[in-house]
Amino acid sequence: MGASLATVWTLARKDLLLELRSRDIVLAIVVFALLVITIFTFAVELTPSRSMDVGPGVLWAAVAFAGVLGLNRSFAMEAEGDTLDGLMLTPVSRDLIFFGKMLGNFIFITIAEIVIFPVFEALFNISVLQVETIVIALLASIGFSAVGTAFAAVSVRVRSREIMLPLLFLPASVPLIMAAVESTSVVVNGGSWSAFSDWLQLAIAFDVIFVIASAVLFQFALEN
Amino acid sequence: MEKSFGNAAVLRGLDMTVRDGEVVAVFGANGVGKSTLLRVLTTLTRLDHGTISVYGSDLSRRPEIARLLLGAVLHSPMLYGDLTVKENLSFFGKMFRVPRLADRVSELADRMGLTPRLDQKVRELSHGYQKRAALARTLLHRPRLLLLDEAETGLDESARVILDGVISEHRAAGRAVVMTTHSIERGIAGADRVLVLAGGRIALDRPSSQVTPNDVTGLYGDLSSPGSGDA
């Protein structure tokens, strides 16, 4: 178990080091998400009540769409240098490679959210920096990174991978995006934990199912 | 072994055995399936039919065990361009759980003439030095079977001497080498056995002492394209 965790961390640490050098992934997610959020602040007249109505949807749509860019990049860099083949030549099981890549993507999305949320709060003038929203964001990041890592592996060898990944990722993530939007909506309107517990349960169930299913899909995608 | 890509049969019932301490040179015209053969042996490409056993481990059933025994230099160096040589070797060493990794990295860097370049990013290295780094990555876990796909391409003379030395040491240690090359004289001189692929099969399999360059090139002609007929 300890050795497996060390391998997962070694894989994620390698991705973090590469990101630290290139800053491709987090920058892409943050810039795209902030652009979407900024455009909406101009497009919609943001009265306090309207901010609470449309804000959560805008926030999670921006994170989900921007996340696709980052997820695409995280696998593209493995394909460019054929380093995916290098990983495949190691005796590490495909499951551990999946969890290593997923952990890296989870960290990238989470770092991006740390930048995006305060800017969103300032522009929409609604408070999302609360414990409840942080829990929702963590659950959403786990789901996004699991689904995204698996589908990025599926589309990495496809010529039109930039198109293929969003086509696979976004429909599959709809339940999680719904759960995140509805939960956030309850929180910004002053609701308690119990008021969005159903959505929270949906997000948890999504994460459990899709982490397992994505690990299987990832293995299948790499082997074939 | 049988492998097709679409309608093109690349390997058609190819059967071969490599023994410990043996260096096997595989020749064949472009597109005849040399690289496919090596990718199949590395587990990177799946066979359509057939089995491969590496020191008793079935490649399809126990690939993790087999991968511990294999080391491969393929066309691409398979290294992260934005990481330094040292970071790359350390990363892959950890993936193979190489004991005393720092010592092993220093030892291989010294052996490959990479010590002054250990802290340089791989993308900043020349093609030849990237190939040296790829060879170092391949040798990290002391593989028992070394697979070299045109490994000498892009290497200068001093690097070729290093590569020849690695192959000789591998043979002397009772380990096996399978290499593809277009350098026929060099391949024959460095190998114990010569295989020529043609038409997806082995068209020639002889000790290198009984093979001349003409024997090899003679088989490159009509038989070279996959599915072109019986070899």
**Which residue carries 């919609």 as its tokens?**
A44
> Is residue B124 in some structural domain?
no
pLDDT in tens, A141-193: 999 999 999 999 888 877 787 888 899 999 999 999 999 999 999 999 888 88
B5–chain A Cβ distance below 8 A for any pair = no
A186 forms beta bridges with none
Contact B97 A88 (CB under 8 A): no
pLDDT in tens, B156-195: 888 899 999 999 999 999 999 999 988 889 889 989 999 9
> Is residue B91 in some structural domain?
no
pLDDT value at residue B224:
44
Chain A residues within 8 A of B94 when measuring between CB atoms? 6-7, 10
**Mean pLDDT, range B117-123, rounded to an integer:** 95
A90–chain B Cβ distance below 8 A for any pair = yes
Residue B208's domain spans which residues? 2-78+144-217
Contact A89 B42 (CB under 8 A): yes
pLDDT band at B106 (very low <50, low <70, confident <90, very high): very high
Chain A residues within 8 A of B67 when measuring between CB atoms? 89-91
Which residue numbers in chain A have pLDDT < 70? 224
The yes-or-no verdict on residue B216 having pLDDT over 90 is: no
pLDDT band at B55 (very low <50, low <70, confident <90, very high): confident
> Is residue B46 in some structural domain?
yes
pLDDT value at residue B231:
28
Answer positive or negative: Cα dihedral of B187, B192, B197, B72: negative
> Is residue B83 in some structural domain?
no
Residue A217's domain spans which residues? 2-223
Interface of A with B in 20-39 (CB under 8 A): 21-22
Say how many domains are in chain A.
1
Contact A91 B83 (CB under 8 A): no
For chain B, give the percent of residues with pLDDT over 70.
Answer: 95
Q: Specify whether the CB–CB gap between B37 and B197 falls below 8 A.
A: yes
- Strands B23-27 and B53-54 come out as unpaired
B95–chain A Cβ distance below 8 A for any pair = yes
Query: What CATH number does residue B153 fall under?
Result: 3.40.50.300
pLDDT in tens, B126-157: 989 999 999 999 999 999 999 999 888 888 88
> DSSP class of residue B84?
B
> Is residue B200 in some structural domain?
yes
Encoded tokens for A188: 């910004």
B91–chain A Cβ distance below 8 A for any pair = yes
The yes-or-no verdict on residue B2 having pLDDT over 70 is: yes
Q: How far apart are CA A36 and CA A53, in angstroms?
A: 17
pLDDT value at residue B225:
45
Q: What are phi and psi of B105, to 5 degrees?
A: -65, -45
Give the count of beta carbons closer than 10 Å to the beta carbon of residue B206: 12
Region class of B55: left (phi > 0), else alpha (psi between -120 and 50), else beta? left
Q: What share of chain A is helix, strand, coil (3-state, %, to 5)?
A: 85, 0, 15
Q: Specify whether the CB–CB gap between B130 and B79 falls below 8 A.
A: yes
pLDDT band at B230 (very low <50, low <70, confident <90, very high): very low
Give the count of beta carbons closer than 10 Å to the beta carbon of residue B73: 24
pLDDT value at residue B176:
95
Interface test with A, best of B80, B87, B92, B139 (most A CBs within 10 A): B80
pLDDT value at residue A156:
81
Residue A132 has, within 13 A of its CA and on its CB side, a CA count of 23
Q: B196 in helix, strand or coil?
A: strand
Contact A88 B94 (CB under 8 A): no
Q: What angle do CA A100, A106, A112 make, to 5 degrees?
A: 140
Give the count of beta carbons closer than 10 Å to the beta carbon of residue B49: 10
Say how many domains are in chain B.
1
B65–chain A Cβ distance below 8 A for any pair = yes
Mean residue pLDDT of chain B comes to 89
Q: How far apart are CA A185 and CA A169, in angstroms?
A: 23
pLDDT value at residue B227:
42
pLDDT value at residue A224:
67
Give ipTM to 2 decimals. 0.88
Question: What is the value of pTM for the model shown?
Answer: 0.89
H helices of B18-142, in order, are 34-42, 63-69, 85-95, 101-111, 127-139
B44–chain A nearest CA distance, Å? 7
Q: Specify whether the CB–CB gap between B27 and B2 falls below 8 A.
A: no
